[in-house]
Amino acid sequence: MGKKNGFSLIEILIVVGILGLISTLLITALGSTRIKARDTKRKSDLNQIGRFLTLSCFLPETGGGDYDLSQIVTGIISRYPQYAQYVPKNIKDPKTGTDTETRYHYLVTSDGQACALYANLENDEEKVTLTNINLPTAHGGTGIFQTSAVGWNGSNKYFQISN
């Protein structure tokens, strides 16, 4: 009998099993990297617009409260059209944000003297830096705080920028 070229069924099954194991490990490792990258984008977005909004708190015509950032951007552009070119219009949460609901929130007091911009993070491993608050708080500082309830991105950690 002559020698046949090729692989046996057992050899092919072993290779497929090893490739499946490697791909499972790779997907798991990349999943946490994606979460961290989205949290980095959230922090960058809030830092970018937060400097503008918290420098002198913007008070919407409807008064103090908790607003989605899309409502605030629309209000700023309609009240101050000369600043329209400086207000980013495409900032939204990289996982759950849409064109009509950014999932970034702006909290302002009724007198317009204090405000905060905040977003729910995904990474449960984020270190809490604002230990004195457990809700978004105007004049609460800039950093990460933890709440008792899980937010829209599946974590109870939030990043806020406040004056």
| pLDDT at position 2 | 61
**Mean of the pLDDT values across residues 90-119?**
95
Vertex 130 angle, CA 117 and 150, to 5°: 70
Choose the weakest-confidence range: 21-30, 62-71, 77-86.
21-30
| Angstrom distance (rounded) from CA 163 to CA 158 | 16
| pLDDT at position 88 | 78
Tokens representing 15?
Answer: 């290779």
Could you read off the pLDDT of 124-163 as tens digits, one per residue?
A: 999 999 999 999 999 999 999 999 999 999 999 999 999 8
| pLDDT at position 45 | 94
| pLDDT at position 1 | 58
Q: Is 53 helix (H, G, I), strand (E, B) or coil?
A: helix
Tokens representing 27?
Answer: 């997907």
Select the more confidently predicted residue: 27 or 123: 123
